Structure 1
Amino acid sequence: MALLQIDNLTVEFETATGWFKAVDGVSLSVEKGEVLAVVGESGSGKSVAMLAVMGLLPWTAKITADRMLFEDRDIRNISPAERRKLIGKDIAMIFQEPIASLNPCFTVGFQIEEVLRIHLGLDRQARHARAIELFRQVGLPNPEERLGSFPHQMSGGQCQRVMIAMAIACNPKLLIADEPTTALDVTIQKQILDLIMSLQARNGMGLIMITHDMGVVAETADRVVVQYKGRKMEEADVLSLFESPKSNYTKALLAALPENATGDRLTTVSAFFEGTPEPASETRA
């Protein structure tokens, strides 16, 4: 039984000219303890698909799927109360803009303790002790002092560590990391990525890593789903994807990597195909 199983997910948004398909018939699954990378350019529907799973899209969005199962439980039509119990506890997400995701009006300590109060029902003393433990776990210095800080008093890398601490606070079974190293400098990116992977291995979580960085895919993933304009182009284990990509879009992504450049110029992805790229005829598990 897959931890998460999504079949034929479609997400549409109403625009001035009609309905726009941000996600078009995407299917994917992730097992307990597995790392699934969802890769593609900006606008390929990676984040939207996961926000649909989390129930965080606007009510005006039109979401359909043949199946959307978490631990064999259909989460398409669960009540708001049931979803609140599930999201943040069993399924958690690290968002790509930590400063925008944290409430500027409350200390980071209050925000992480609120998660512990709502989902685990811990008393004040237990919440405080757990928050300190989590801040230590994610490598925040002087955790007792940091609990009293507001988001604007912390760096981007520190805020991202707070977001990771909040995401793992209740030991989720599935963690979704949405471009977790965006807008961080290279050194901090490596630290954050290493932290997420060490926590995933330690806690045995299923992990969905949303990224546009093929280097991150190579370093972290067991399996890969490649998306383009809302459609799934290809799915394969990470070694097969890099050694023998089947979709012309996947080939274009790999060919456009800086290490594959010829001469002194980088080549754009679109230079490798004409028209609209088509999905591979079959996917490989």
Structure 2
Amino acid sequence: MSILNIRNLTVKFATATGSFTAVDGIDVHVSKGEVLAIVGESGSGKSVSMLAVMGLLPDTATVTADEMTYDGRDISKMSKAERRKLIGREITMIFQEPVASLNPSFTVGFQIEEVLRINLGLSGRDAHRRAVELFTAVGIPDPEAKLNAYPHQMSGGQCQRVMIAIAIASEPRLLIADEPTTALDVTIQKQILDLLMKLQEDYGMALILITHDMGVVAETADRVVVQYKGRKMEEADVLSLFQSPQSPYTRALLAALPEHATGDRLPTVSDFFQEEAAR
């Protein structure tokens, strides 16, 4: 059963000369406990489509959809108060830049305890104890001491773990991870991905993983949506996508992987669209 259903989602941004369409008629659905990867190059509308669901786009954005429901509830028709009860509790998000997403003026302990206080009603010792438990769960060493650290005193990988701890604090049913390993080195990337998959399994969450890394998709996803220039190019289970991609853009993405290179240069997307047009 689908927990999130989005049909014909369009996002336009007002500009000085008119408007710009960032997302053009996207359909997305994810089932309980499923890992869905949304893949595509920068600017393909991956993050914008999920920020629209979260209600985090600026006032210059106009969002329309034939359907935008979570667990049968119409998100688009919710009041701001109703949406606040949902977002950050049942639906949470991990953003691209962990250091930029944390407030530099407060300790990480204050920030996670604030979430526990607002979303779960915990305070004092209970919030502190739960924060230590969450830091332990995401693999932060010496969690008691780290609660007193400011973001700039922690590494990028540790800040990402803090963001994950904050995201799972209310035990959400749907977690959206937006390029969660982009700013991290390869070793830390693997640790963060392994952690996300473990937490997804432990909590039984649905997970939407936004990425441009096809290797990450192959290792983690059950199903894949491929986007290009704000449109959905293809949707398939992960095995079918890698074995028999249907869209020329998907074939271009896979062919551009370094391990698939056979000549002096990597193929471009235009090469594959030209090939498709010639058929």
TM-score band (shorter)? over 0.9
Cα distance between partner residues in 2 of 1:115 and 1:77: 25
**1:79: Cα distance to partner?**
1.2
Secondary structure in 2 matching 1:253 = helix
**1:267: Cα distance to partner?**
2.8
Equivalent residues of 2:252, 2:267 under 8 A apart = no
- 1:234: which partner in 2? 234
- 1:71: which partner in 2? 71
Cα distance between partner residues in 2 of 1:147 and 1:18: 47
Deviations 1:28-83 (A, max 9, x none): 10001000000000000000000000000012210000010000000002111111
Cα distance between partner residues in 2 of 1:124 and 1:6: 39
- 1:135: which partner in 2? 135
Cα distance between partner residues in 1 of 2:18 and 2:232: 23
* Residue type at the aligned position of 2:117: R
Secondary structure in 1 matching 2:44 = coil
Equivalent residues of 2:93, 2:167 under 8 A apart = yes
Secondary structure in 1 matching 2:274 = coil
* Residue type at the aligned position of 1:256: A
- 2:94: which partner in 1? 94
* Residue type at the aligned position of 2:34: E
- 1:120: which partner in 2? 120
Secondary structure in 1 matching 2:183 = coil
- 2:175: which partner in 1? 175
The answer on 1:218 being equivalent to 2:215 is no
Deviations 1:221-273 (A, max 9, x none): 00000000000000000011111111111111111111110135333333322
Equivalent residues of 2:109, 2:147 under 8 A apart = yes
The answer on 1:110 being equivalent to 2:113 is no
Deviations 1:106-144 (A, max 9, x none): 100000000011110012111000000000000000100
Cα distance between partner residues in 1 of 2:65 and 2:99: 32
Structure 2: which 5+ residue stretches go unaligned?
A: none
Equivalent residues of 2:255, 2:266 under 8 A apart = no
- 2:59: which partner in 1? 59
Higher helix share: 2
1:199-278 pair list within 5 angstroms: 199-274=199-274
* Residue type at the aligned position of 2:227: Q
Q: How many residues align?
A: 277
**1:274: Cα distance to partner?**
3.1
Cα distance between partner residues in 1 of 2:163 and 2:185: 17
Secondary structure in 2 matching 1:112 = helix
* Residue type at the aligned position of 1:57: L
Equivalent residues of 2:36, 2:222 under 8 A apart = yes
Secondary structure in 1 matching 2:76 = coil
Q: CA RMSD in A?
A: 1.3
- 1:283: which partner in 2? none
1:146-157 pair list within 5 angstroms: 146-157=146-157
Runs of 4+, deviation exceeding 3 Å:
none
* Residue type at the aligned position of 2:124: R
**1:15: Cα distance to partner?**
1.4
1:31-42 pair list within 5 angstroms: 31-42=31-42
- 2:15: which partner in 1? 15
TM-score by length of 1: 0.95
Structure 1: which 5+ residue stretches go unaligned?
A: 279-285
* Residue type at the aligned position of 1:66: D
The answer on 1:82 being equivalent to 2:44 is no
TM-score by length of 2: 0.97
